[in-house]
Amino acid sequence: MHSRRTLLLGAPPVLAGLLASPALLLTACANAPTAMPSLADRPPIVFVHGNGDSAALWQTTLWRFESNGWPRERLFAFDQPLPLARDDDGVAQAGRSSTAESAAFLKDRVEQVLRATGAARVVLIGNSRGGNTIRNYVQNGGGAAVASHVVLGGNPAHGIWAVPGLRENNEFSGLSPFMRQLNAPKGPNGDEVTPGVKWLTLRSDNNDKYAQPDGLWIGSPGKPTNIGFDGPALKGATNIVLPRVDHRETSFSPAAFAATWQFLTGEAPRSPEIAREANVVLDGRAIGAENQSLAGAQVLVYAVDPATGRRLGEPVHRKTIGADGRWGPFSARPDAAYEFVLDTQASVTHVYRSPFPRGSSLVNLRLDPIVPADGSANAVAVFTRPRGYFDAQRDTMRFDGKSPPAGVPPKGAGVSSSRLRETGSEPQRAVTGEFNGERLTGLTWPAVKGHVTVLELTY
């Protein structure tokens, strides 16, 4: 779809170690990054999440920026209301947003950030659909006047499919009017990116479920999508390949952070590791699938035994959720494992998390209700990885003694959660999930009363 010349460049030492590869694939272009101002003058960064997601996915990315000295008060991530794209971008659909609505939301938030910080420019970083929103805002909503740099991770820049007659008005069709106008040639070189802004794209070599030549992950196995592994790359941008990362890891992995930091600053980060804080203050929103606040719900937090999931006494925090959805602030112990209980009376979600090394205002609690497919299960437990997918060929993982976990295919990174349904009458018991060194244990709860257990990985 677009021509470009590629160079194989040696990776900076930090980045090379993260990628477990001796080199990065970097697209040569005239749009090379320029050095950022001094540490005290770091511009604000606005992070834009993807389709159906929330700002919580940026939690570890913000921690890495903070750990390398980017001021916390200049890092912003927002929950977009109705984060799912419409089936047809031009037709209103309950619970979903259009490309125009998504760009308008971003424009409003950027203007808020500029007023709050007094900055003249911002950096925009987006994952997946968030990249569509950023490109639309920069090209059509005035964003080019205020965005200095843009980083797009796993953005379906040429669509997820480009098949004549297949949902051509969908935002993710490469044949949609929306996508065609975004990719129309610009400037003297016929670039696909808006001039005047520095652009970086990050993509997988061949492990992104939404950049595949075969339609397996869009429900059409064996049929061509007319999209290649390089679909997220854009003419006029700096395009980097991160080997073996999955769709979400193009934004949320240590390798993605290191490449982004290098692009913004011209230097490798001091470390991709997350520095620990002595005082850990947690907050976030209690929300449903549409990122709407669950006003009236109750949130209770318990310290638990990390080996058994058993509660260590009474709640250490409780709050009734208001219109803003905020459930904190809560001062946590950095060495403690916690159970977060989100109770709407009709449905109760028990979220078990590893100890938090740093404070965060992005600890969102999303309701995970009983669904018809759960049938007559006595207990339901979910093992989930919000910031990446499970890859049976790449990762070491186990859920309730099974490897790979139920529902995880033997090949490909396209599933981010595993759902366990118990139909027997066994009393409450512990369930454990393990993934690449992170281990979580929680307790099962009665599904007949609307309870669901969630083991939520941090990394």
Tell me which CATH homologous superfamily contains domain 6-265.
Answer: Alpha/Beta hydrolase fold, catalytic domain (3.40.50.1820)
pLDDT in tens, 100-129: 999 999 999 999 999 999 999 999 999 999
pLDDT of residue 14: 33
Q: What is the spatial distance between Cα 271 and Cα 65, in angstroms, rounded to a whole number? A: 10
Supply the DSSP symbol for 254. H
Predicted TM-score (pTM) of the model is 0.93
Ordered by start, the domain boundaries in the chain are: 6-265, 280-456
Q: What is the spatial distance between Cα 67 and Cα 358, in angstroms, rounded to a whole number? A: 9
CA proximity to 286, closest of 243, 330, 239, 323: 323
Q: What is the spatial distance between Cα 12 and Cα 97, in angstroms, rounded to a whole number? A: 40
pLDDT of residue 426: 77
Segments in the chain below pLDDT 70: 1-40
Q: What is the spatial distance between Cα 331 and Cα 327, in angstroms, rounded to a whole number? A: 12
Supply the DSSP symbol for 388. S
pLDDT in tens, 12-46: 333 333 333 323 333 333 334 445 555 557 999 99
Neighbours of 376 (CB within 10 A): 8
Given CATH 2.40.50.100, say whether it is the number of domain 280-456. Answer: no
